[in-house]
A and B are shown apart, each in its own frame.
Chain A
Amino acid sequence: MKSRHVLTGFVVLLALAPLVLPTFQVTLLNYIGLYALVVLGLVLLTGVGGMTSFGQAAFVGLGSYTSAYLTATQQLPAWLEWAAGSPWLSLLIGILLTATVALLLGALTLRLSGHYLPLGTIAWGISLYYLFGTVKTLGGHSGISGLPPIELFGLELDKGEKMFYLIWAILLLAMLVTQNLLNSREGRAIRALKGGQLMAESMGVNTFRSKMVVFLISALFAAISGWLYAHNQRFVNPTPFGLSMGIDYLFMALIGGVANVWGALLGAGILTMAKQWLQDLLPWLLGDAGKYEHIVFGLLIILIMHRTPGGLWPMLMKLAPAKLRQRKQLLPEAGAVGTPDLPRRDLPEKGELILQAKDVTRQFGGLVANKEMNLEVHAGEILALIGPNGAGKSTMFNQLSAVDTPTSGEVLFRGQSLKGKSSREVATLGMSRTFQHVKLLPTMTVLENVAIGAHLRGNKGVISSALHLERLEETSLLQEAKRQLERVGLGDYLYEEAGSLALGQQRILEIARALCADPCLLLLDEPAAGLRHKEKQALADLLSKLRSEGMAILLVEHDMDFVMGLVDRIVVMEFGEKIAEGLPEEIQTNPAVLEAYLGGAD
């Protein structure tokens, strides 16, 4: 593969850099590496996870100050004496401390939606910064000096040229680990955070946990960068950990390309070089009172946000030759033959009662959207829920799928009440659904979108994902996704972007995703909308086949031809109440139904 050659070339160039470049340039490269490590965390957090943080500089400070305090303070308190002097030990302690602080801050702020999260990060970012400057044992505003160099295999890294290798080795490792993580089961859950949380939850993803994972990783990257920074400078003070640096980190991510691992490096590189260059140029233009480069950076960011909000990396990629751009095939072909199938759930006996609504009533203030609704779905049966617009079908669908809770009455799924259960727990029980308004992740491939459905059928965690120790399970998951896609007739589109499919195909994709969860009950919200005749026939065939395998299916649908030819029983709703229930033929001649749909015969 050609992009691998480019990468090898890049690493070789890096390895040679300190040998040929003057010290000043090496120092700059060190800074780029240190910044890029923090920005990489932001790419994960903001670009991929959709959570904006202005507080990363504070985590850098935590890493720096922990190590500075432990290695350079003359008289540590007695309970800490064991940790004195060794940078490696203080790295470990710094990581633990940062993880604890991040867990605490994350628990407090990660549930916040919209603008509250960035404002929250500003708040704790500032607080931590002031704390560094106020605590006496941390040296106040003059900081701590006299840090020892890091020792590696008996070699003292006391010069920029030597630190260079450590910094860049750690950065490249972090990039590899991040890239690995994103291409895994956990990674898909993380990538679903931006714009797909509702969907992900109903596929069994614990979105809060995913948020916490990226928040932790980004905090740890920042802390490690801080540790490297402290022992590179050999002294720390509060200035580089303030909010303005936090803003700079975010700017770097945005300039480079906030959704891409390589964008982190590009952004850190551009901003660091530009700063250097502007600091030489601007005083000559505007006088040397200081910090004028911020005027240029601010305007540059505004320009980028206006023209290319995705940053410069995607633009650069468009210019690159096609060969370099080719995305890695996600399905490992070689492993395909011996890959074990995923374990399957025991399907219930045909005819067993799966879903039961008992006197379900849902009131919104004075409006009764559902009134004493009763219905039953059995294994190996397709039940259709129909009714004119505004009859309360969607509300009923929400009660059945545990998105909403009935005001009175209850819904039983395989004998268990759904009261108080989240859509995630319901997914665990074997209920899987599609959405009336298609919910998928448009920039991910069709295959990856469907694989999210199989989330609960894997169990490998973040660490094995980051190290790619879960490849066998990953192959099984993707294999299953591929099988379901072929089954619904989308086998030719595995590696297309999901957003490029026609609306009808996107609906089918949702069914494949739901099937991937190996459910015993499928809830389909208007699956035939937007499909062409042939596609409808194919869908009907698929649903009949699932029924013969013992699946229970409930669908809400408007297309009468589709419903009448396919389903076993029909429940008709009007004004929130059930007005009829029976076989398709009975419903077609039922006077109450005719009146509801066509108006009175007077």
Chain B
Amino acid sequence: MNLQIAILLGQDGITNGAIYALLALSIILVFTVTRILLIPLGEFVTFGALTMYAFQSGHETSIVWLLAAMIALDAALDLKQLFSNGMDARKAQWIGIKLGYAALMVTLMHTLSLQEIPMLAQALLTLMLLVPLGPVMYRVFFQPIASAQPLVLLIVSIALHVTMVGIGLLMFGPEGGRTAPFSDTALRLGSVMLKSQTLWVILVSVVLIVSLFLAFERTLYGKALRATAVNRMGARLMGISPDFAGKATFALAAFIGVASGILIAPITTLYYDSGFIISLKGFVGAIIGGLISYPLAAIGAVAVGLIEAFSMFWASNYKEIIVFTLIIPFLLWRSINSNHVEDEE
């Protein structure tokens, strides 16, 4: 291995690591606020990438009908609640807005010539199609069992992942796809070429992480979510709705997932079932952070990306084994630190 290869591998590692870091952060965010391990996060990544690919390659995709169906389900649940709790003009209005949004998206998808609009518009449309699935998913699948045991939440999360993989196959077919890079220029740094997409990934990740940080430190809603993470009951008594907190974190996680998908789609070919392994690597990062610490998780996730890239070079067959075995020393370290017998409810 010479320096040039090392830099090349390092570049790959940091690109993937940045994506894992984003995912690790949303995993911790969702976990601390709702106690849910968001396994289906990886499906948001693949859905994002494959929707972009479908737009660019001109493949038919019925993903908009998934959105419409989920919103319809959500609206039906809302209506049912409305009837049993008495009418409320504001809530009724909300249902109207949601249904209107679904109708708008369906019209957009069928009138725009998706292949020709600029890439930014394609990305925006992808986000608009997929991000609302996050909060709707929380509303339909998790809100009714928000106070259940952690195991039940985990199982529902896994089941949702399994379902979404199947739906992914239905929507996008078994073929994988790779999209056009955001820009064609490459940066030359001495003798080393830096791929422009790498820079895009790192740039967007840093912007996202910084804005997340600002949102949580500086805004009232961010503080409300942090409060929910620290003490659910206390936050509730202070007037923060746990339902809102759940939906908001799911929306954020979905946004980060889809955005990551759009970012890496030009670098890696993704298939309908690639999401699981990607989100698991996010989980490795999150676990390194103890499912609590954001900075540790981000560092851990970047380390996962680097180790993956370098083991690709030395022992490519054992890449996944190395990455997933990596988690065990950290688990061990955690278990040494929590040595007393605990009672789980």
Taking Cβ atoms with an 8 Å cutoff, the residues of A that contact B are: 46, 50, 52, 54, 108-109, 111-116, 118-120, 122-124, 126-127, 130-131, 134, 194-199, 201, 207, 243-244, 247, 250-251, 254, 286, 289-295, 297-299, 301-302, 305-306, 309, 439
22 contacts between A and B (CB under 8 A): A46-B151, A113-B342, A115-B37, A119-B283, A119-B327, A124-B325, A124-B328, A126-B320, A127-B320, A127-B324, A130-B320, A130-B324, A198-B343, A199-B343, A247-B158, A254-B155, A286-B170, A289-B169, A291-B166, A293-B166, A301-B162, A302-B160
* A298:B163 contact, CB within 8 angstroms: yes
* B159:A302 contact, CB within 8 angstroms: yes
Q: Knowing A122-B280, A298-B163 touch, does A305 contact B152 (C-beta < 8 A)?
A: yes
Taking the nearest CB of chain A, how far is it from the CB of B215, in angstroms? 26
Please provide the chain B residues from 126 to 184 with a CB less than 8 Å away from any CB of chain A in the complex.
141, 144-145, 148-152, 154-156, 158-167, 169-170, 173-174
Provide the residues of chain A in CB contact with B342, threshold 8 Å. Answer: 113, 197-198
Taking the nearest CB of chain B, how far is it from the CB of A49, in angstroms? 11
Report which residue of B160, B170, B283 has the largest number of chain A beta carbons within 10 angstroms of its beta carbon. B170
B220 within 8 A of partner (CB):
no
* A52:B321 contact, CB within 8 angstroms: no
Which of B151, B155, B317, B334 touches A112 (beta carbons < 8 Å)? B334
Q: Knowing A112-B334, A134-B318 touch, does A196 contact B343 (C-beta < 8 A)?
A: yes
Bound complex: CA A199 to CA B338 (Å): 18
* B334:A116 contact, CB within 8 angstroms: yes
* B325:A123 contact, CB within 8 angstroms: yes
Question: Which residue from chain B places its CB closest to the CB of A111 in the assembled complex?
Answer: B335
Question: Which residue from chain B places its CB closest to the CB of A301 in the assembled complex?
Answer: B159
* A289:B173 contact, CB within 8 angstroms: yes
Bound complex: CA A253 to CA B230 (Å): 33
Bound complex: CA A50 to CA B152 (Å): 12
Bound complex: CA A161 to CA B316 (Å): 43
Question: Which residue from chain A places its CB closest to the CB of B149 in the assembled complex?
Answer: A309
The secondary structure that dominates the B interface is: helix
* A197:B162 contact, CB within 8 angstroms: no
Which of B162, B170, B174, B338 touches A297 (beta carbons < 8 Å)? B162
Taking Cβ atoms with an 8 Å cutoff, the residues of B that contact A are: 31, 37, 141, 144-145, 148-152, 154-156, 158-167, 169-170, 173-174, 276, 280, 283-284, 287, 291, 317-318, 320-321, 324-325, 327-328, 331-332, 334-335, 338-339, 341-345
Taking the nearest CB of chain B, how far is it from the CB of A428, in angstroms? 16
Which of B31, B317, B343 touches A195 (beta carbons < 8 Å)? B343
* B332:A108 contact, CB within 8 angstroms: yes
Taking the nearest CB of chain B, how far is it from the CB of A579, in angstroms? 32
The secondary structure that dominates the A interface is: helix
Known: A111-B339, A113-B338. 9 other contacts (CB 8 A): A120-B328, A124-B324, A251-B159, A254-B155, A294-B166, A299-B159, A301-B159, A302-B159, A309-B149
Provide the residues of chain A in CB contact with B327, threshold 8 Å. Answer: 119-120, 123
Which of A111, A112, A295 touches B166 (beta carbons < 8 Å)? A295
* B152:A309 contact, CB within 8 angstroms: yes
Which of A124, A130, A299 touches B163 (beta carbons < 8 Å)? A299
Provide the residues of chain A in CB contact with B344, threshold 8 Å. Answer: 50, 113-114, 194-195
Which of A124, A131, A195 touches B345 (beta carbons < 8 Å)? A195
Q: Knowing A295-B167, A309-B148 touch, does A116 contact B324 (C-beta < 8 A)?
A: no
Report which residue of A113, A115, A120, A244 has the largest number of chain B beta carbons within 10 angstroms of its beta carbon. A115
Provide the residues of chain A in CB contact with B283, threshold 8 Å. Answer: 119, 122
* A207:B167 contact, CB within 8 angstroms: no
Provide the residues of chain B in CB contact with A116, threshold 8 Å. Answer: 287, 331, 334-335
* B341:A52 contact, CB within 8 angstroms: no
Q: Knowing A112-B331, A115-B37 touch, does A123 contact B159 (C-beta < 8 A)?
A: no
Provide the residues of chain A in CB contact with B276, threshold 8 Å. Answer: 243
Report which residue of A52, A297, A298 has the largest number of chain B beta carbons within 10 angstroms of its beta carbon. A298
Which of B31, B170, B332, B338 touches A295 (beta carbons < 8 Å)? B170
Taking the nearest CB of chain B, how far is it from the CB of A325, in angstroms? 25
Bound complex: CA A382 to CA B318 (Å): 66
Bound complex: CA A119 to CA B344 (Å): 17
Q: Knowing A114-B344, A119-B283, A294-B166 touch, does A250 contact B155 (C-beta < 8 A)?
A: yes
Which of A113, A131, A198, A199 touches B321 (beta carbons < 8 Å)? A131
Q: Knowing A299-B163, A301-B156 touch, does A197 contact B151 (C-beta < 8 A)?
A: no
Question: Which residue from chain A places its CB closest to the CB of B287 in the assembled complex?
Answer: A119
* A108:B169 contact, CB within 8 angstroms: no
Bound complex: CA A115 to CA B173 (Å): 33
Q: Knowing A195-B344, A290-B174 touch, does A130 contact B334 (C-beta < 8 A)?
A: no
Which of A109, A195, A294 touches B162 (beta carbons < 8 Å)? A294
Bound complex: CA A52 to CA B153 (Å): 12
